[in-house]
Amino acid sequence: MSKQVQRIPKYMTIEEIERLSEQPYLEGKLYKEQLKSKKQKKDKWLKRIRNKLFSAKRDYAIINLFYSSGIRLNELVNLDLNDIDFKRGIIKVLGKGNKEREASLTNEAIRILKSYLKARSLWKGNKGEAVFLSRTGSRITKMNIQRNIERYGKEAGIVKKITPHMIRHSIATHYLNGGMDIRKIQSFLGHSSLASTQIYTHLVTDDQREERNRLHPQNRIQRKLI
């Protein structure tokens, strides 16, 4: 019995997800105001504030992408620009066992991701294909994302230690509570089912994406952009 209890995945409430996601937005808004102020004063700390603003935009997109798609940390880190299909509202990810699948994006995640990509296009050293960049222009690391998300969780006043995988468990739980069929959730997460060990690759149909958008809590509120 104790082993079964330990295996129950930790997750956040919708309210906690909202607070986590809002944290980089609030920081980005502050840095944007500081940047405007210091530009007028020709302050020497402009570069530092620009770096912080870029990181806030990036992390805002990362958290919303995690919650939208339910993808794993490694899958997000390895995302390339050509893996995104905004027209279909999906991203292609390479999961466990090198199995490729398609993960769906909510309309809100698309808006926020597009806003970040606009900032990315103007960022120094952005010649690579990685979607998410460090401040130096290289592909962001898993450790960087883990540390940032944990910090945002603390600053948002969330008692739990927040991890990227917890966001994945959270949307699965929220979908289940919203009435989505468990087999669809298994497919959404790229898990194998009891009936088949090959349900790793999943093509998202228009009907499935519409259902995910309808049930996803992220689409209930239109977020402001940094």
Residues involved in catalysis: 72, 96, 165, 168, 191, 200
Q: Which residues pair with 92 in a beta bridge?
A: 102
Under DSSP, is residue 90 helix (H, G, I), strand (E, B) or coil?
strand
Phi, psi at 218, each rounded to 5°: -60, -25
Collapsing DSSP states into helix, strand and coil, what is residue 224? coil
Structure tokens at 168: 């994945």
* Buried-state track 23-38, b at ≥16 Cβ within 10 A, e below 16: bbbebbeebbebbeeb
Residue 207 tokens read as 């009907």
